[in-house]
Amino acid sequence: MATQKGISYKKAGVDINAADAIKKAMAKSLETGDKRVLNRIGAFASLFDGHFPGMKHPILVLKTEEPGSKQKLAFSHDRIESVCEDMVNHLINDIAVMGAAPLSVQDCIVCGKLEKEKVARIVDGIASACRKQGCVLTGGETSEQPGVVDAGTYILTSSIVGVVEKEGIIDGSAIQEGDIVLAISSNGLHTNGYSLVRALLKANPGLENEKVSGRRFIDALLAPHLCYYQGLKGLFGSKELHGLAHITGGGIQGNLNRVLPGHLDAKVELGKIKILPIFSFIKEKGNVSDGDMLRTFNLSVGMVAVASRKGAATMQQHLNGQGYSAYPVGEIVKGAKKVVFSGTVKW
C-alpha cells in the first residue's frame, strides 16, 4: 500500500501566512479618527459606541448587499475601486430611504486564491467609499476557498449599520392621495441589469468600445452607483417628505410599490422620464422589449421621492441644488399598492 504524501493547509490551497500578511496590510485602510470605533484590526469582532447625543430614541437600521454580476465585469476590466464604491453607495441608499444616517460597514471578501495587491485595493476602495459618505469600515471577513471559488474570482458582500430617530423614520406610511412622485435621476445602470448586459456583450464583444454620449460603452456601464444620501439628508425631518424608494432590480414598479400604503397607487407617466442614452443604446443593440427594460433597469431613475403637493417644488429645488436632477413624473391616487404606468417611454 502506497504511503500517503504529507498534506498541509497550504498544499490544499489555503496559505495562512499570506492571509496574515494581507490582514496586516489592511490595517492602514482601516485606520480612522472616529472615536466611536473602540477597537481595530485583529479583534474577534468590532466595537462601536452606540451613544447618540441629541437623539431621543435612536433606531438601528441594518442592511446587507452585494454588487451582483457587475463585480465580474468590473474585475475583468480592473475597476476594483469602482465596484467597491458601487457596493457601499447601494448600501447607504437602501438605509437612506428610511431616513437613516450611515455609521459602520463590514465587508466579506471570498476568493479562490488570495492576491495581496487585489485584496488591499478592495479594502482600500471600500474604506474610501465609506469615508466619502461619513461612515467607517470597521472590519469584516476575508475567506480563501480553493475548489469552491475559481482562482482570480472575487465575491464581495457588505453589511451596514445606520441610525435614525424613531420619530423620523420614513416608511411610506405618511403617503397620501394627491402627493407628487419625484424622479431623481441615476447616472446609468447603477448595480442592476448586468446579467442582461453581459449576455449582450458576450454576443457582441465589439460593443464595449462603441461610443455612448462620447464615452465608451464599457466606461458608461462601469460608472459607480450614485449615492443620494448627501442630497437627501437635508430633507430628513421634513413633514413634506412622505416616502422614498431606491430603484434597483425590478425597476420603478418593483420598488416604489414597497413603500405605498395598501389603499393607494402611484400613477407614473412614462413619457416624463428623462431617459439616459445608455438605456436607449442597450434597448437598440439587444432588441430588448419596453417591458423587459422597465423590469430590469432603473431606466434613468435611481431614487423616487414622494412629496406633499405643497412641498414638492421646494424639495425638487433642494435636490437640484445638491447636484442631482429631480423632476415630477406622477402622483399618488386611490388604488391597491401598485405602480401604474401611463403613456410610453420616449427613447
Are 147 and 189 contained in the same domain?
no
CA distances from 72 to 75, 79, 163, 250, 292 (A): 5, 10, 32, 21, 22
Beta bridge mates, 333:
265
Are 133 and 196 contained in the same domain?
no
Are 198 and 134 contained in the same domain?
no
Q: Where are the alpha helices (DSSP H) in the chain?
A: 16-26, 70-76, 80-96, 116-132, 194-203, 217-221, 229-232, 251-256, 277-286, 290-296, 312-321
Q: Given this model, what pLDDT does residue 146 score?
A: 93
**Short-list 216, 347, 200, 189, CA closest to 286:** 200
Q: Given this model, what pLDDT does residue 17 score?
A: 73
Q: Could you tell me the sign of the dihedral formed by the alpha carbons of 64, 68, 70, 74, in that order?
A: positive
Coil, strand or helix at 14: coil
Q: CA 161, CA 59: separation in Å to the nearest integer?
A: 10
Query: Domain for residue 4, yes or no?
Result: no
Are 229 and 145 contained in the same domain?
no
Give the 3-state secondary structure percentages of the chain, helix then strand then coil, rounded to 5: 35, 25, 40
State which amino acid sits at residue 43.
Answer: A
Which CATH number fits the domain that encloses residue 319? Answer: 3.90.650.10
**Short-list 213, 229, 233, CA closest to 221:** 213
CA 15 to chain centre: 32
Q: What grid cell was written down for 5?
A: 504524501
- DSSP-derived letter for residue 5 is P
Residue 281 is part of which domain span?
Answer: 180-342
CA 293 to chain centre: 19
Name every residue whose Cβ is closer than 8 Å to that of residue 51 and which is 6 or more positions away in sequence: 36
Q: Given this model, what pLDDT does residue 3 score?
A: 60
Are 130 and 243 contained in the same domain?
no
Which CATH number fits the domain that encloses residue 137? Answer: 3.30.1330.10
Query: Domain for residue 302, yes or no?
Result: yes
Are 202 and 77 contained in the same domain?
no
Q: Given this model, what pLDDT does residue 260 score?
A: 99
Half-sphere exposure in the Cβ direction for 280 (13 Å, CA): 11
Burial class from Cβ neighbours inside 10 Å (0-12, 13-18, 19+) for residue 130 reads: buried
Query: Domain for residue 71, yes or no?
Result: yes
Q: CA 139, CA 107: separation in Å to the nearest integer?
A: 7
Are 162 and 187 contained in the same domain?
no
Q: How many domains does the chain have?
A: 2
Are 143 and 21 contained in the same domain?
yes
Are 81 and 209 contained in the same domain?
no
CB of 269 closer than 8 Å to CB of 342 = yes
Mean pLDDT of each 10-residue bin along the chain, 347 residues long: 68 70 65 78 87 95 96 97 98 99 97 93 97 95 93 96 98 99 99 97 97 97 98 97 98 98 99 99 98 98 99 98 98 99 98
Are 231 and 127 contained in the same domain?
no
CA distances from 88 to 39, 43, 157, 181, 198 (A): 22, 23, 10, 26, 22
